[in-house]
């Protein structure tokens, strides 16, 4: 299947680790020019090196999306080099542990929203004029199953992810006439290096094997994943490849769940 992504300019926010890194690698393997950003320089350059070694066209730019100045610098650096941004993957996001509502302070809500929602808004606001000018654009917002099926804990995270799904819908209605399609992808329990480390520690503490710790996590925290395993970064990346390709040219405003059937409703 020809995805027609060769030479497309793509920004993957939070492309230095986990799901974002997998998305960046998959897009680079399809011949896109990929820009990744994140706060930590070491992880950024490690990801850049790895993707380059695979023959990918990749550029890493340090940026904290909770800082407007960093976002301005990120977008102007990309425009200076590539002239436009065809595809934007709003992936960067933070989680802050299994906090309950009463433990969380207003500052925790503000800090998390500043990345998960406002970081996405800042980047999107800066990119839209270039997509409008080109009469073409694809935007994917990475939400979560928690955006429609929240747990009792992390209400700030869950609310930020629900907001992203709603934000997608508004933009999809506003910009389709400009050739810009906007969709959400909502993963559930994807095995990233970070989660792998957490589960390895949990296995050690509970004197379990790694597989037992994964099954314990599924049972207690993600009992609705019907395929009874975590998803992979590649499984999220392949959904992204499809949605940003010409094969999905009539798909706009959807929330595509990559969640092994976890969300209970239709």
Ligand X SMILES: NC(=O)c1ccc[n+]([C@@H]2O[C@H](COP(=O)([O-])OP(=O)(O)OC[C@H]3O[C@@H](n4cnc5c(N)ncnc54)[C@H](OP(=O)(O)O)[C@@H]3O)[C@@H](O)[C@H]2O)c1
Instruction: Tell me whether residue 94 or residue 162 sits nearer to ligand X (CB atom).
Output: 94
Chain positions 41 to 80 lying near ligand X, rule: CB under 6 A, are: 43, 63-66
* CA distance linking residue 49 with residue 101, whole number of Å: 41
- Segment 196 to 235, residues that bind ligand X, using CB under 6 A: none
- Contact string (CB under 6 A) for ligand X, positions 91-130, x = contact: xxxx--------------------x---x-----------
Smallest distance, Å, CB 261 to ligand X? 15
Q: Contacts with ligand X in 165-194 (CB under 6 A)?
A: 187-190, 192, 194
Does 18 participate in binding ligand X (rule CB under 6 A)? Answer: yes
Considering the rule CB under 6 A, would residue 38 count as an interface residue with ligand X? yes
Torsion of CA 264, 13, 68, 122, to 10 degrees: -50
**Catalytic pick among 82, 130, 157, 175:** 157
Distance CA 70, CA 66 (A): 8
- Separation CA 6–CA 31 (nearest Å): 4
If binding is defined by CB under 6 A, does position 40 make contact with ligand X?
yes
Structure token pair of residue 179: 């050739």
**Residue 157 appears among annotated catalytic residues:** yes
Nearer Cβ to ligand X (13/172): 13
By beta-carbon proximity to ligand X, the closer residue of 82 and 189 is 189
CB of 21 to ligand X, least distance (A): 7
Report d(CA 2, CA 239) in Å as an integer: 15
Instruction: Indicate the residue among 32 and 117 with the shorter CB distance to ligand X.
Output: 117
Q: Which residues bind ligand X (CB under 6 A)?
A: 13-14, 16-20, 37-40, 43, 63-66, 91-94, 115, 119, 142, 144, 187-190, 192, 194-195
- Residues serving a catalytic function are 157
């Amino acid at each position: 299947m020809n995805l027609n992504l060769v030479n497309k300019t793509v920004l993957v926010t939070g492309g230095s680790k986990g799901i974002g890194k997998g998305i960046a690698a998959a897009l680079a393997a399809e011949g896109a020019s990929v820009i990744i950003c994140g706060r930590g320089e070491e992880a950024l350059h490690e990801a850049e090196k790895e993707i380059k070694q695979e023959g990918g066209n990749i550029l890493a730019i340090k940026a904290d999306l909770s800082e407007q100045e960093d976002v301005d610098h990120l977008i102007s650096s990309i425009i200076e080099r590539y002239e436009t941004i065809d595809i934007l993957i709003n992936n960067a996001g933070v989680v802050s542990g299994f906090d309950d509502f009463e433990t969380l302070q207003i500052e925790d809500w503000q800090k998390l929203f500043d990345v998960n929602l406002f970081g996405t808004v800042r980047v999107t606001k800066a990119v839209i004029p270039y997509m409008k000018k080109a009469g073409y654009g694809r935007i994917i917002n990475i939400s979560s199953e928690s955006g429609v099926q929240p747990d009792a804990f992390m209400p700030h995270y869950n609310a930020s992810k629900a907001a992203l799904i709603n934000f997608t819908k508004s933009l999809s209605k506003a910009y389709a006439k400009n050739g810009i399609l906007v969709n959400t992808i909502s993963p559930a329990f994807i095995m990233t290096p970070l989660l792998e480390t957490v589960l390895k520690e949990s296995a050690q503490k509970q004197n379990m094997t790694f597989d037992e710790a994964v099954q314990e996590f599924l049972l207690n925290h993600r009992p609705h994943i019907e395929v009874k395993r975590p998803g992979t970064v590649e499984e999220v990346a392949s959904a992204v490849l499809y949605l940003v390709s010409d094969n999905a040219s009539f798909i706009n405003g959807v929330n595509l769940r990559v969640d092994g059937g976890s969300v209970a409703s239709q």
